[in-house]
Chain A
């Protein structure tokens, strides 16, 4: 699967993704990898209606995301994958998927989360998972929109 972006963003599909990243990277398909949304028809409808019609949108649970990535099922399309949390990315990587680079695009304040950057707040649990991703040689890049400078945060999470 040619992946143009693997992004962690607690808002999933929203303005920065559609107006920022999709306009810059021109994906054929946006994959929302999320157990809750995959099982919620209303949320699927809302997110689909936020995306221009020339971009296809898929909603996969984490198990199906791993299966499709492992079997390279999207190989003919340029794909952008969105995860809601560090935990979800970790689940997919634990199933054997290799991801080289992950964009940390938006993890906002939650109880127990500490600010790393204005758009990245991490809990102890997030840090534990991120450390494991770093061990697997994943490059973690914090960047909210394409026009802003990317910042590699590997050394900040270990």
Chain B
């Protein structure tokens, strides 16, 4: 199974999952981790234990809020030990929905790229005259 771990500041990841469930319906294989009150080592250990809990057929993609923050740094540290884990920054609702939609449809190796492409296309200035 392909699972996602959302690593974010505050309750953003948790709320994003709850919100996505309100739109997409129930799903599993997504967990949220916050950096609130956690030292870097502690945050790394938490993410690592989630990844390590998976079996041989499990793949993990980490969706982090933004590049350059402490969440991202922790994910990169985990990725140093577990290069099989994919990492994408800029998680938002379209990205999470795209993940749910695509995780079983594209090869895991291509999933990160697919999420970036789909999410990028969802950010646009809307011109009401030209929908």
- Listed stretches A7-15, A60-68, A87-95, A129-137; interface member: A7-15
Verify A18–B68 contact, CB threshold 8 A: yes
Interface flags, A98-139, vs B, CB<8A=1, else 0:
000000000111100000001101000000000000000000
Verify A110–B41 contact, CB threshold 8 A: yes
Question: B98-126: which have CB < 8 Å to A?
Answer: none
Residues of chain A with a CB closer than 8 A to B90's CB: none
Number of interface residues of A (CB under 8 A): 18
Interface flags, B31-64, vs A, CB<8A=1, else 0:
0000001111110000000000000000000000
Residues of chain A with a CB closer than 8 A to B40's CB: 10-11, 108
A64 to chain B, nearest CB (A): 23
Verify A42–B39 contact, CB threshold 8 A: no
| Selected A-B contacts with CB under 8 Å, 15 pairs | A11-B40, A11-B73, A13-B68, A15-B9, A15-B68, A15-B69, A46-B73, A49-B67, A50-B72, A51-B68, A109-B37, A109-B42, A110-B42, A118-B37, A119-B37
| B interface residues, Cβ below 8 angstroms from A | 9, 37-42, 66-70, 72-73, 76, 80
| A interface residues, Cβ below 8 angstroms from B | 10-11, 13-15, 18, 42, 46, 49-51, 107-110, 118-119, 121
